């Protein structure tokens, strides 16, 4: 008695079907490699155009790119193929820290990043963007949201402030210099009660 | 003579392009990329829940301000189509994204699943503030959708002369799925778990006999090469990269560091060497050597080490994880077999001496 392989299901055995028009090796070959003649030429052209568009989209902005951009922008935009690999392209020459403080009658109280929800890189990226854009209205809306997220017992009475401080990174040739933190931007949110 | 040469050159070039785009390739890399991307999306969408709720929830920033300044997106996205500014939309998008990830990984309806995935990915990428990594997630979804529409993602079970027999009637399984590779695990005895186990872990690694035109895998490969080359190209426009000081400043940014890299500030020669190495890797080494057979695996390994190191030391999200998924496009079925064999101890750990004992008892009549 042949030993059944337990790696396969134990369903009732079905007879092996003879190859049909769709399961024959020739049909499979056609299905898997349908690109022949005109279809193959068009698909190949489309793919080359795609690679060419991505190449153009990756180049730095220039008058030449500006002149052809309107023709391929819809393709890139609608399909979500935007190409922008700018991470660390121009590293900042300063370090930074962003802190939030609650404003109470007794003064300012630091608030932990966990309580603010600043515990993921994406959130840090978001709040850094807020500071860099330096839009008081946008930041105020965000701080109002943060204020509401703080549990009531810990919610500062008067409002919130968010501050970014920066510190120059010493030049590679001058590593002995110790530079100090200095304030860059500060945003306020005052609670309605106040 | 000149016209003959140029004609011949032209025809050679066309032949080369044709081979590059349409030569038969194994389905294995695409299948594994589909599974890996599906599972990646589960984690990705889960991590987006909090920012999505912050922006589009009932009490989120958009509903507070009416027109919260966000980046303009050309693509259709659900937050725009269903603009009721409520938690329900967030649940729909995040829940739908997670479900579509599982769906894509499962290999069911592989023509439709990538399209659904694309819709959900499109609804979050750049709609929720992100970085270049999110754009790569979006590009991945678009290429998956193209491959899915062309039927390159299916497991090839239906209508395939190479399909795996569900119940071999006295026939031995194909060589590629020998008992040694399949393993003899308890999981396969359970109908549901066994099916999932085979579909996710066995079939993608083993059905290398089925081929597809190369173009769908080329989409991912060319995209990855573009990412590296143009990252380096744009970096050269900045004097910190050109003069080899970029990594000195990056090491000094404690805000974006997971570990204290400020020790490197005292070693400008080291950071300078590292800066130049990164540039050469992006501009030259990866885009060229990844196509050279003997160098393919070493350069991919170097890239993995490069990205894992950055992931450990820097607070960069998504970018390095998704880039590793793009790397899978350069792996051939033989590479996967080799990777799979690395897990042999795990297979042995899972292996069911139980069924072997049962089988032995059955054959012995005991």
My answer on whether B322 and B360 are in the same domain is no
Model-level pTM?
0.80
Within-domain flag for B72: no
Q: What CA–CA distance (Å, rounded) separates A137 from A142?
A: 9
Instruction: Give pLDDT, residue B167.
Output: 41
Within-domain flag for B348: yes
Three-state SS letters, chain B: CHHHHHHHHHHHHHHHHHHHHHCEEECHHHHHHHHHHHHHHHHHHHHCHHHHHHHHCCCCHHHHHCCCCCCCCCCCCHHHHCCCCCHHHHHHHHHHHHHHHHHHHHCCCCCCHHHHHHHHHHCCECCECCCHHHHHHHHHHHHHHHHHHCCCCCCCCCCCCCCCCCCCCCCCCCHHHCHHHHCCEHHHHCHHHHHHHHHHHHHHHHCCCCEEECHHHHHHHHHHHHHHHHHHHHHCCCHHHHCCCHHHHHHCCHHHECCCCHHHHHCHHHHHHHHHHHHHHHHHHHHHHCCCHHHHHHHHHHHHHHHHHHHHHECCCCHHHHHHHHHHHHCCHHHHHHHHHHCHHHHHHHECHHHHHHHHHHHHCC
My answer on whether B205 and B307 are in the same domain is no
Within-domain flag for B137: yes
Instruction: Give pLDDT, residue A174.
Output: 77
Q: pLDDT digit string (tens) for A54-78?
A: 999 999 999 999 999 999 999 998 8
Q: What CA–CA distance (Å, rounded) separates B316 from A105?
A: 39
Testing the interface with A: which of B76, B94, B252 to mutate, by most A Cβ within 10 A? B252
My answer on whether B197 and B344 are in the same domain is yes
My answer on whether B124 and B203 are in the same domain is no
DSSP chain A: -PPPPTTS--PPP-PPPPP-TTTSHHHHHHHH----HHHHHHHHHHHHHHHHHHHHHHSPP-HHHHHHHHHHHHHHHHHT------TTSS--SEEEEEEEEEEETTEEEE--HHHHT--SHHHHHHHHHHHHHT-HHHHHHHHHHHHHHS-GGG--SSEEEEEEEEEEPPPTT-TT--PPPEEEEEEEEE-S--
Pick from A56, A118, A107: nearest CA to A83: A56
My answer on whether B40 and B144 are in the same domain is yes
Residue A40 token pair: 């193959």
My answer on whether B39 and B146 are in the same domain is yes
Within-domain flag for B218: no
Backbone angles phi, psi at B278, to 5 degrees: -60, -45
**Of all residues in chain A, what percent carry a pLDDT higher than 70?**
79
Within-domain flag for B163: no
Nearest-CA distance from A158 to chain B in Å?
A: 20
Q: What CA–CA distance (Å, rounded) separates B112 from B149?
A: 8
Residue A54 with chain B: CB contacts under 8 Å: 222-223, 226
- The answer to whether the Cβ–Cβ distance between B317 and A122 falls below 8 Å is yes
- The answer to whether the Cβ–Cβ distance between B132 and A120 falls below 8 Å is no
Within-domain flag for B288: yes
Contact B236, A86 (CB under 8 A): no
Instruction: Give pLDDT, residue B90.
Output: 87
Place of tokens 């030449």: A64
Within-domain flag for B159: no
My answer on whether B97 and B136 are in the same domain is yes
Nearest-CA distance from A169 to chain B in Å?
A: 6
My answer on whether B46 and B142 are in the same domain is yes
Residue A22 has pLDDT above 50, yes or no: no
Contact B29, B211 (CB under 8 A): no
Instruction: Give pLDDT, residue B365.
Output: 39
My answer on whether B195 and B114 are in the same domain is no
My answer on whether B203 and B245 are in the same domain is no
Closest chain B CA to residue A74: B74
Instruction: Give pLDDT, residue A7.
Output: 43
Nearest-CA distance from A168 to chain B in Å?
A: 9
Residue A132 has pLDDT above 50, yes or no: yes
Confidence of residue A98 (pLDDT cuts 50, 70, 90): very high
My answer on whether B143 and B190 are in the same domain is no
ipTM of the complex: 0.79
Contact A66, A122 (CB under 8 A): no
- For chain B, first and last CA: distance in Å? 83
- The answer to whether the Cβ–Cβ distance between B234 and A14 falls below 8 Å is no
Instruction: Give pLDDT, residue B187.
Output: 52
Q: Look up the domain containing B281 and give its range.
A: 225-331
Q: pLDDT digit string (tens) for A150-159?
A: 888 888 888 8
Within-domain flag for B5: no
Q: How many separate domains does chain B show? A: 3
Mean pLDDT in each 10-residue stretch from start to end of chain B (366 residues)?
72 87 87 93 94 86 71 67 76 92 90 92 83 91 92 63 41 43 51 63 59 91 95 92 92 90 88 94 95 93 93 90 93 82 71 46 40
Contact B107, B35 (CB under 8 A): yes
A140 touches chain B (CB under 8 A): no
Q: What CA–CA distance (Å, rounded) separates A10 from A95?
A: 63
Long-range contacts of B85-89 (CB under 8 A, 24+ apart): B85/B56, B85/B57, B85/B58, B85/B60, B86/B57, B86/B58, B87/B53, B87/B57, B87/B58, B89/B56
B72 touches chain A (CB under 8 A): no
My answer on whether B233 and B184 are in the same domain is no
What does the pLDDT average to over A110-121? 87
B residues 205-264 closer than 8 Å to A (CB)? 210-213, 215, 218-219, 222-223, 226-227, 229-231, 233-235, 237-238, 240, 245-246, 248-250, 252-256
Contact B30, B216 (CB under 8 A): yes
Instruction: Give pLDDT, residue B262.
Output: 83
Nearest-CA distance from A160 to chain B in Å?
A: 16
Q: What CA–CA distance (Å, rounded) separates B147 from B145?
A: 5
Q: Using alpha carbons only, give the angle B66, B75, B50 rounded to the nearest 5 degrees.
A: 55
């Amino acid at each position: 008695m042949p030993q059944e392989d337990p790696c396969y299901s134990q369903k009732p055995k079905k007879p092996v079907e003879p190859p049909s028009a769709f399961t024959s090796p020739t049909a499979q070959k056609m299905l898997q490699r349908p690109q022949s003649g005109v279809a193959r030429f068009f698909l190949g052209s489309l793919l080359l155009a795609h690679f060419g568009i991505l190449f153009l989209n990756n180049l730095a902005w220039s008058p030449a790119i500006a002149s052809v951009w309107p023709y391929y922008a819809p393709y890139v935009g609608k399909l979500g193929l935007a190409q922008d690999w700018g991470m660390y392209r121009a590293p900042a020459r300063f370090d930074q820290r962003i802190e939030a403080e609650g404003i109470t009658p007794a003064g300012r109280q630091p608030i932990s990043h966990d309580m603010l929800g600043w515990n993921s890189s994406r959130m840090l990226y978001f709040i850094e963007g807020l500071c860099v854009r330096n839009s008081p209205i946008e930041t105020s809306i965000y701080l109002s949201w943060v204020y509401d997220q703080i549990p009531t017992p810990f919610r500062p009475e008067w409002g919130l402030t968010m501050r970014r401080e920066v510190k120059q990174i010493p030049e590679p040739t001058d590593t002995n210099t110790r530079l100090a933190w200095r304030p860059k931007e500060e945003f306020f949110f005052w609670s309605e009660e106040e | 003579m000149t016209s003959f040469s140029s004609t011949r050159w032209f025809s050679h070039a066309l032949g080369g392009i044709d081979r590059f785009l349409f030569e038969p390739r194994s389905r294995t890399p695409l299948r594994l990329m589909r599974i890996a991307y599906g599972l990646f999306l589960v984690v990705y969408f889960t991590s987006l829940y909090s920012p999505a709720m912050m922006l589009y929830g009932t009490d989120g920033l958009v509903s507070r301000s009416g027109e919260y300044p966000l980046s303009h997106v050309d693509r259709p996205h659900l937050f725009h189509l269903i603009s009721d500014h409520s938690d329900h939309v967030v649940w729909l998008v995040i829940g739908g994204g997670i479900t579509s990830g599982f769906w894509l990984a499962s290999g069911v309806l592989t023509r439709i699943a990538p399209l659904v995935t694309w819709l959900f990915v499109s609804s979050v990428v750049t709609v929720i503030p992100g970085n270049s990594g999110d754009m790569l997630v979006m590009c991945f979804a678009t290429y998956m959708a193209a491959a899915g529409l062309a039927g390159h993602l299916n497991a090839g079970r239906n209508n395939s002369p190479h399909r795996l027999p569900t119940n071999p009637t006295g026939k031995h399984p194909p060589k590629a799925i020998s008992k040694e590779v399949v393993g003899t695990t308890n999981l396969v005895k359970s109908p549901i778990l066994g099916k999932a186990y085979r579909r996710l872990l066995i079939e993608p690694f083993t059905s290398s006999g089925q081929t597809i035109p190369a173009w769908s895998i080329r989409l991912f490969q060319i995209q990855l090469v573009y990412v590296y080359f143009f990252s380096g190209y744009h970096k050269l426009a900045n004097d910190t990269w050109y003069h080899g000081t970029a990594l000195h400043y990056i090491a000094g940014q404690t805000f974006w560091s997971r570990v204290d890299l400020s020790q490197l500030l005292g070693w400008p020669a080291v950071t300078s060497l590292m800066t130049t190495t990164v540039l050469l890797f992006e501009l030259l080494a990866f885009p060229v050597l990844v196509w050279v057979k003997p160098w393919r695996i070493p350069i991919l390994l170097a890239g993995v080490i490069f990205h894992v190191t950055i992931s450990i030391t820097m607070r960069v999200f998504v970018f390095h994880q998704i880039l590793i998924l793009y790397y899978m496009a350069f792996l051939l079925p033989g590479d996967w077999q080799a990777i799979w064999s690395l897990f042999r101890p795990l297979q042995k750990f899972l292996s069911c001496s139980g069924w072997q004992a049962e089988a032995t008892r059955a054959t012995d009549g005991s």
